[in-house]
Structure 1
Amino acid sequence: MSTEYQTLANDGLWENNPALVQLLGLCPLLAVTGTVTNALGLGIATMLVLVGSNITVSLVRNWVPNEIRIPVFVIVIATFVTLVELTMNAFTYGLFMALGIFIPLIVTNCAIIGRAEAYASKNNWYNSAFDGLMMGLGFTLVLVALGALREILGQGTLFAGAELLLGEWARDLKIQLFSFDYPLLLAILPPGAFLGMGFLIAGKNWIDGRRKAKLAKAPIEKAQRARVTTVN
């Protein structure tokens, strides 16, 4: 993988993750992550829109005047959102109904408009497609992680309702980890989503802090080893 693709992958999945770092698209992220199935469905839909809109914006970038580029980008994004919405309505109707208004609201997701403006409008279509894929995958991973956390704490299950996304065969994918006499409403309701998101961001910041501290110590330890070797 070239350095450019490595940078795009690292940015999308970790360093510049649209949810954990840029804090974009939080409204649907917090609203629909009650289960892994809902989170995965919205994540895949967002990723498809990101890839499609990035490719299209990159292909038309030389023909769009700067004065109207944002409206054109919004029209492109809205077109792909409509295609995804109609596809979900036709093939995953149960999930389509569960996600509701948050599917068309993908049009207003700042992560998608931001990537169209910041990257796709300045680069070739295949790099733009990869950028959209990595940003979408990073967003999806955060959705799924938050959905898993809320579903486990709130319902004691994983993959509940998987048949809504994958068909009837996936009904057996549901895992009952433990049972509640009463569900943990804090995890199921929006406040739980805010708390869960806070823990995910804190976890990322902690890992980044450990990495930076380790990198800062590396030259010192190397110099110390060199002095010991010289003395011996």
Structure 2
Amino acid sequence: MADNSQWQEISQKGLWSNNPALVQLLGLCPLLAVSGSVVNALGLGLATMLVLLCSNIAVSLIRKTVSDAVRLPAFVMIIASLTTCIELLMQAFTYELYTILGIFIPLIVTNCAILGRADAFASKNPVLPAAWDGLMMGLGFMLVLVTLGGIREILGSGTLFANMHLLFGEGARGWTLTLFANYPGFLVAILPPGAFIITGFLIAIKNVIDKHLQERAAAKKDKPVKGSKRVRTTGKIA
């Protein structure tokens, strides 16, 4: 059973220090292609998180029974099966959003972050830590995706949470926030070049924060403990 420090380490890596989108730079194709709005980003992010969570659980369960010769093909089959299940669920309950996301739902199978976590972590750890790792990695990816989608939607359309009924039903039609009246729109923000630019800024902001945290930790480490006494040496021999 994992202790609290291991749970915290897994959470910290998935959400920040080893984030799939900002650090590992995995899954950039859907990250840049469909993050033009919050609803698109949230839909793909939830689908990816569910596949990552369930695949980690399944891989952990079979880790002692699958030989090295068929390990990776078995992982791919698990991920492909789970992706197909998510795809069918989206076709049944969120069909309009499914048609908007298009090919990027089936392409979850090829997301290196999912196969990478299955091979690097789930295949070497018990079910609960593997499930938590999948949840945190998926949540970290989804948060970056939604942040990127929110920024692009605001800059590109002047709105936020538009078309949320595609994911949450008719009751979510009134969730749209119009931030700028008569906003002409900023086309570059919606197009893929805008996604590259904004992603670069997000990575830069993360690097600045990491540098600040490292400097503060180093300063705290070097700071003398309050009440400690320094021994003076005169260089004289008695």
Range class of TM-score, shorter chain: over 0.9
Amino acid aligned to 1:4: Q
The whole-number CA distance in structure 2 between the counterparts of 1:180 and 1:108 is: 41
**Match for residue 223 of structure 2 among 221, 228, 232:** 221
Higher helix share: 1
Q: For residues 88-131 of structure 1, what are the alpha-carbon distances to aligned partners after superposition, in whole Å with 9 as ceiling and x for unaligned?
A: 00001111111000000000000000000000000111111110
**Match for residue 89 of structure 2 among 87, 90, 95:** 87
The unaligned stretches of length 5 or more in structure 1 are none
1:138 paired residue number? 140
The unaligned stretches of length 5 or more in structure 2 are 233-238
SS state at 2:223 partner: helix
- After superposition, the CA RMSD in angstroms is 1.7
Aligned pair count reads 230
1:161 paired residue number? 163
Amino acid aligned to 1:185: L
2:190 paired residue number? 188
TM-score, length-scaled by structure 1: 0.95
**Of 211-220 and 86-95, the range deviating more from structure 2:** 211-220
Tell me the CA shift for residue 68 of structure 1: 1.4
TM-score, length-scaled by structure 2: 0.93
**Match for residue 173 of structure 1 among 170, 175, 187:** 175
Change in 2 beyond 3 A, CA 1:227/1:65: closer
Tell me the CA shift for residue 81 of structure 1: 0.2
2:124 paired residue number? 122
Rg (Cα) greater in structure: 2
**Of 206-215 and 177-186, the range deviating more from structure 2:** 177-186
Kept in 2, the 8 Å contact 1:58–1:128? The answer is yes
The whole-number CA distance in structure 1 between the counterparts of 2:107 and 2:82 is: 12
Change in 2 beyond 3 A, CA 1:228/1:182: farther
2:74 paired residue number? 72
Amino acid aligned to 2:100: A
Kept in 2, the 8 Å contact 1:16–1:22? The answer is yes
The whole-number CA distance in structure 1 between the counterparts of 2:138 and 2:206 is: 18
**Match for residue 47 of structure 1 among 46, 49, 52:** 49
Kept in 2, the 8 Å contact 1:58–1:121? The answer is yes
Amino acid aligned to 2:106: P
Kept in 1, the 8 Å contact 2:37–2:153? The answer is yes
Change in 2 beyond 3 A, CA 1:218/1:181: closer
Kept in 2, the 8 Å contact 1:155–1:180? The answer is no
The whole-number CA distance in structure 2 between the counterparts of 1:135 and 1:60 is: 21
